Structure 1
Amino acid sequence: MTAPLGFVVCGAPLAARAIDVARALTDEGWTLSIGVSEAGAEWVDPDKLAVIGEHAVATRRRHATERRRTPRPEQVVAFPLTFNTANKIAAGIMDNHVTGTLCDALGTGASVLATLMVNDRLWGHPTWDGTLDWLTAAGVRFLDPRVGDVTRPEPLPSGIGEQVVDGFDPRWIVDAVAALPGDDS
Structure 2
Amino acid sequence: MSDQPAQPKKPFLYVVVCASGIASDVHKLITAAQKQGWDLGVIATPLGLGFIDASAVEAQTGYPIRSAWRSPGDPRPLPPADAIAVAPATFNTINKWAAGISDTLAVGILCEAYGLGIPTAVLPYLNTAQAAHPAYRQSLDRLHEMGVLIGSYDPHRPKAGGGADRFHWEEALELLAPEVLGRA
TM range (shorter): 0.7 to 0.9
1:117 aligned partner, one-letter code: Y
Aligned residues: 173
Is residue 127 of structure 1 aligned with residue 135 of structure 2? yes
Evaluate the alpha carbon distance shift between residue 145 and residue 18 of structure 1 in structure 2; reply closer, same or farther with a 3 A threshold: farther
Partner of 1:175: 174
Taking structure 2 as the reference length, what is the TM-score of the superposition?
0.81
Distance in 1, Cα, partners of 2:171 & 2:135: 29
Distance in 2, Cα, partners of 1:74 & 1:105: 10
Identity %: 27
Evaluate the alpha carbon distance shift between residue 51 and residue 165 of structure 1 in structure 2; reply closer, same or farther with a 3 A threshold: same
Is residue 24 of structure 1 aligned with residue 32 of structure 2? yes
For structure 2, list consecutive stretches of 5 or more residues without a partner in the other structure: 1-8
Q: How does 1:1-185 map to 2 (within 5 A)?
A: 4-52=12-60, 55-60=61-66, 61-145=69-153, 155-159=155-159, 161-162=161-162, 164-179=163-178, 181-183=179-181
**Structure 1 stretch 9-18 or stretch 168-177: which is displaced more?**
168-177
Taking structure 1 as the reference length, what is the TM-score of the superposition?
0.80
1:42 CA displacement = 3.0
Distance in 1, Cα, partners of 2:166 & 2:73: 44
Distance in 2, Cα, partners of 1:121 & 1:167: 18
What per-residue deviation string (whole Å, max 9, x for no partner) do you get for residues 36-59 of structure 1?
11222232122211221xx54234
1:2 CA displacement = 5.8
What per-residue deviation string (whole Å, max 9, x for no partner) do you get for residues 61-87 of structure 1?
311222424332121000111111111
Evaluate the alpha carbon distance shift between residue 129 and residue 120 of structure 1 in structure 2; reply closer, same or farther with a 3 A threshold: same
Evaluate the alpha carbon distance shift between residue 156 and residue 142 of structure 1 in structure 2; reply closer, same or farther with a 3 A threshold: farther
1:99 CA displacement = 0.9
Conserved 8 A contact 1:33-1:57:
yes
Distance in 2, Cα, partners of 1:20 & 1:105: 24
1:166 aligned partner, one-letter code: D
Q: Give the greater-gyration-radius structure (CA).
A: 2
What per-residue deviation string (whole Å, max 9, x for no partner) do you get for residues 96-120 of structure 1?
2211221121221211111101212
Partner of 2:6: none
Structure holding more helix per residue: 2
1:93 CA displacement = 1.7
Secondary structure of 2:74's counterpart equals: coil
**Structure 1 stretch 29-38 or stretch 59-68: which is displaced more?**
59-68
For structure 1, list consecutive stretches of 5 or more residues without a partner in the other structure: 147-154
Question: CA RMSD of the aligned region, Å?
Answer: 2.4
Conserved 8 A contact 1:74-1:105:
no
1:28 CA displacement = 1.9
1:23 CA displacement = 1.5
